Structures are given as C-alpha cells and as structure tokens.
C-alpha cells in the first residue's frame, strides 16, 4: 500500500447527496496491496469499498468507519490483438480501454455511453450501452476477472474457473470481492458510423419503432430520449447508429438511408443524419461533460433513478411520470433516457429483469439546484415513490440510482437469485465488510 490520498476526495461521489468520512483512503498500486488491506480488515470487521471513477450516486462506494481503496493506480491496459482480447486494471477508465482497443482496430462489443467510469465500477453494476439490445451488458462480454475477495484471497475466475465467483462478481455490486482486473472480449471496430436522430411527437409511434429496431440487427447502436417539446409536453427521439465503411462524404448513397429508416414512422422533416468516425461517436459525451463541468452542473446533486421496465408499459408509465409535478425539473435540468433492450441478450445472473422479451431501460438523469437539500430530499422521495410504482407494473431497479433501499427491498429485488448471492457472500465475504454503501445486509 502506498501514499494516503486525501480523505475528503472520497467523501462525496457524483451523486453529491450522501457524504461519509472513512477512516482512511488506501492507494492500491497492485492486487497485493488490496489483498493486504482485506486480509487485515476482515477479522477486524472494518468496512472496505473500492473507488474507481467516483460515479456512484448515493454513497454506494463509501466506507463509513472503514477504508476506501483508491483503484486509480491499477490502470494498466493491454490489448492482445491476435486473441481479440484486452486486459485492463480495475482502475482504468473506459476511455483508456477504447484508446488501447481502437489502436488495434478493435473494440469491446458493448461500451457504456460515458467513458469516464472505471472498468471495475462499471463491471460491478453490469454496464449498459448503445449496443446492449444486441450484445447485452458490458459485463456479458468479460472473459475472465481477477479479484480479491473479502477474506483477502487473490483469485481469477471465468465461466469455467470458479464459476460461482464469476457469477457473483459481474454486476455483483462489489459484495463478494473487489475486482482488480478483467479480460474483455473484442470485436473488429468500424472506422465510421452513420448516426440518425429521429423525432416523434407520439410515444406510441416512438415505441413501435424502437421495438422494431430492438428486434432486428439493422443498427449496431440504438438508444432514445424523451425531450421537452417547445410548446410544452414531450417529444421522443431515437438515436440509431450503423457502421459505415466509407469515410464521411457529402455524396453518400441514399439507398442506405432508405434501407435503414425508410420503414420508420418518425417525422421526416426533422430527422438528422451525421457521419462520424467511430472514435468520435464513442467519445460523444466528452463534450457534454466539459460543458457541465464548466457550468458547475457536474458538481451539483444528481438524484438519478434508473429502472428496467417491461416494454409494453412504456407508453403509459413514461408519459404519466413526465406529466407529474415532482418531475418538473427534468424539463430544465436533466435527461430522460429510454434504451430499448432484449431480455435474451442479457446474461449476468445478478441483473434481475422484467418478464418478457422486450424491455426498456429508463434513466431519469437529473441535476438538483445547489444549496437546496430540501429539494434533493424531495427528489429522492419521488424516486422511491416511482420505484414502488414501477414494481407494480413489473419494473425492476437498475442499481445506478439515488434511492434508499432496505435489506428486504434487496431480497425482493434479487428474487430467485438471492440465495445464490447469500451463499457467495458467506463464502467470499463472511465478515460482511465489502461495499456496504448499497445497504444489502442488516
Ligand atoms: C455521467 C454518467 C454517465 C453514466 N453512463 C452510464 C452508461 O452509459 N451505462 C452504464 O451502465 N452506466 C452508466 N453510468 C453509471 C456508472 O457506470 C456506474 O455508476 C458505475 O458503477 C460507476 O463506476 P465508477 O468506478 O466510475 O464509480 P465509483 O463511484 O468509483 O464506483 C461505483 C460503485 O462500484 C464499486 N466499485 C468501484 N470499483 C470497483 C471494483 N474495482 N471492484 C468492485 N466494486 C467496485 C464502488 O464501490 C461503488 O459501489 C453513468 C454514470 C454517470 C455519472
């Protein structure tokens, strides 16, 4: 273990809602350093959490009365082109991963939209991206994970090697082990993509088209948003992306466009079509981040909520919630993301999903005003009310959220996989020291 980064650096996260002071922050330049800490902390019952990109929303990465492990130094990334794999330290960011993979003309099949999270942090929640409707979670494309368990064992796991640990670690909310590195599968990267932004006034036609695109393979990436409409109300946008072999040129063949969007029911007058390099597309949120940092919004409270909904509920559930008074702030300071998904593409067992083949990931990504803790409390309470309502229509939480959860809530959340998680917890973190910020255990 080296150095002692400042404790105040880890008392807050991107959520800026929960802050808690650990006893100390331990910088981990190697798996051995993590092992040393966990071997000591377990028998003493000292809480330990990993900190990667600090994007948690509600203190999930904090370790009150214990230690936060700063994973930043575990950031080595190595691409092995002939194997089409890449190994990454848990503290590497997805930007680091993209840089190394694209350098060899390769890419992970699924990447989070925002590349600033850490490899370990995103794998611990699962990771959704624009191609999840076809390729599942970021975690579903992992070949092997290197971890240190709550008892200080330094182990490697994969579908064939300690499969129980592999299943417990991916999307496992850091409950059984801290990830120190991962081997990711890669695929050939396109050089360019064509991006379509298609606008809809009606949620019904929007969902009909999203359903069509989720089912077929014409686009490599599909996501969507609800956006405030000019005269009040909301409009909907599909963002769909297809690989595009030729470099950007003004005289692109119109046949492509006809084939890709000709049968869709969007407003043709407002459609936007752009050719981008694949790297530009992957880094599409970098500019937004710079802007939000410059305006100070990046450092304000973020009472986000993310839910997985059965697709057939979207046309009623989403417009109804957007019309609520409690959600008014989303019109001015936030983003409402609607990501189409197919249940058959999702594999990590610890990601519970609604019944049915077609799903939608709804993310309410809002920013609260600064210095108004009362407003933040109200928004967190609104998250709780919405979560409970979502459950009545078959919705499930995606645990990237500012949402208080009790151990009973978690038991209900994991449902049939809860006993498997309990067994893995007893085996790999019997002292219950890891990642307590989620509040899974009494
Ligand atoms: C602006 C923004 C955009 C986002 N976009 C997406 C997106 O497109 N797709 C998506 O799926 N998610 C997205 N997220 C959610 C984000 O990926 C998750 O919150 C992720 O867990 C963040 O990881 P981190 O390392 O950056 O954060 P941290 O706060 O450092 O960690 C988050 C959680 O993971 C745990 N953790 C961190 N490292 C490890 C490790 N090595 N081993 C075990 N547990 C660990 C922490 O203890 C904590 O509980 C976004 C979040 C933000 C703020």
Q: Which domains does the chain have, with CATH numbers?
A: 7-72+429-438 (3.30.43.10), 77-188 (3.30.465.10), 192-277 (3.30.70), 295-405 (3.40.462.10)
CB-based contacts of 328, cutoff 8 Å, min separation 6: none
CA angle 432, 435, 436 (to 5 degrees): 65
Å from CA of 299 to ligand 1 middle? 16
Q: Is the CB of 89 under 6 A from ligand 1?
A: no
251 pLDDT more than 60: no
CA–CA separation, 347 and 182 (whole Å): 17
Å from CA of 245 to ligand 1 middle? 33
CA–CA separation, 358 and 311 (whole Å): 5
Give 255's pLDDT tier (boundaries 50, 70, 90). Answer: very low
With beta carbons less than 8 A apart as the criterion, state whether 22 and 7 touch.
Answer: yes
Probe ligand 1: pick from 37, 64, 121, 126, max atoms within 8 Å of CB?
A: 121
Give 258's pLDDT tier (boundaries 50, 70, 90). Answer: confident
DSSP structural state of residue 190: P
The pLDDT tens digits for 56-75 are 999 999 999 999 999 999 99
The pLDDT tens digits for 68-100 are 999 999 999 999 999 999 999 999 999 999 999
223 pLDDT more than 80: yes
pLDDT of residue 249: 53
Nearest CA to ligand 1 atom 17: 122
3-class secondary-structure state, position 331: helix
Give 2's pLDDT tier (boundaries 50, 70, 90). Answer: very low
Å from CA of 435 to ligand 1 middle? 13
CA–CA separation, 117 and 270 (whole Å): 33
pLDDT of residue 247: 57
Probe ligand 1: pick from 110, 122, 157, max atoms within 8 Å of CB?
A: 122
CA–CA separation, 168 and 397 (whole Å): 18
pLDDT of residue 7: 79
The pLDDT tens digits for 374-408 are 999 999 999 999 999 999 999 999 999 999 999 99
Question: What average pLDDT does range 260-272 have in this prediction?
Answer: 95
With beta carbons less than 8 A apart as the criterion, state whether 417 and 410 touch.
Answer: no
3 pLDDT more than 90: no
């Amino acid at each position: 273990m080296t150095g002692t980064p400042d404790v105040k650096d880890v008392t807050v996260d991107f959520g800026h809602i929960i802050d808690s002071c650990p006893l100390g922050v331990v910088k981990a330049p190697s798996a051995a350093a993590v092992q040393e800490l966990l071997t000591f902390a377990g028998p003493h019952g000292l809480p330990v959490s990993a900190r990667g990109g600090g994007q948690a929303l509600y203190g999930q990465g904090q370790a009150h009365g214990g230690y936060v492990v700063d994973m930043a130094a575990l950031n080595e990334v190595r691409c092995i082109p002939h194997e089409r794999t890449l190994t990454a330290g848990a503290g590497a960011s997805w930007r680091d991963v993209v840089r190394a993979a694209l350098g060899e003309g390769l890419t992970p099949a699924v990447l989070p939209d925002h590349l600033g999270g850490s490899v370990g942090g995103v794998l611990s929640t699962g990771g959704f991206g624009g191609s999840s409707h076809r390729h599942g979670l970021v975690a579903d494309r992992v070949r092997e994970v290197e971890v240190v368990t709550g008892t200080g064992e330094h182990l490697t796991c994969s579908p064939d090697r300690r499969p129980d640990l592999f299943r417990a670690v991916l999307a496992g909310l850091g409950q059984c082990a801290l990830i120190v590195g991962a081997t990711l599968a890669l695929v050939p990267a396109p050089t360019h993509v064509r991006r379509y932004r298609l606008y809809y006034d009606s949620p019904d036609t929007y969902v009909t088209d999203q359903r069509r695109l989720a089912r077929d393979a014409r686009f490599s990436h599909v996501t969507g948003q609800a956006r405030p409409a000019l005269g009040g109300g909301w409009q909907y946008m599909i963002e769909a992306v297809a690989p595009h072999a030729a470099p950007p040129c003004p005289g692109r063949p119109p046949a492509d466009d006809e084939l890709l969007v000709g049968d869709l029911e969007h407003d043709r007058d407002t459609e936007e079509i752009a050719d981008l390099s694949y790297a530009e597309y992957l880094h599409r949120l970098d500019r937004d981040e710079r802007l939000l940092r410059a305006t100070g919004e990046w450092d304000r409270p973020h009472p986000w909520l993310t839910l997985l909904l059965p697709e057939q509920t979207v046309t009623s559930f989403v417009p109804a919630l957007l019309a609520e008074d409690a959600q008014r702030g989303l019109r001015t300071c936030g983003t409402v993301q609607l990501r189409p998904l197919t249940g058959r593409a999702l594999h990590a067992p610890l990601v519970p999903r609604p019944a049915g083949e077609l799903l939608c990931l709804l993310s309410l990504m809002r920013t609260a005003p600064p210095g108004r803790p009362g407003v933040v409390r109200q928004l967190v309470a609104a998250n709780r009310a919405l979560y409970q309502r979502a459950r009545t229509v078959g919705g499930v939480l995606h645990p990237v959220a500012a949402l208080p959860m009790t151990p009973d809530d978690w038991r209900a959340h994991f449902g049939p996989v809860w006993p498997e998680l309990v067994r893995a917890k007893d085996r790999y973190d019997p002292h219950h020291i890891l990642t307590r910020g989620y509040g899974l255990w009494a």
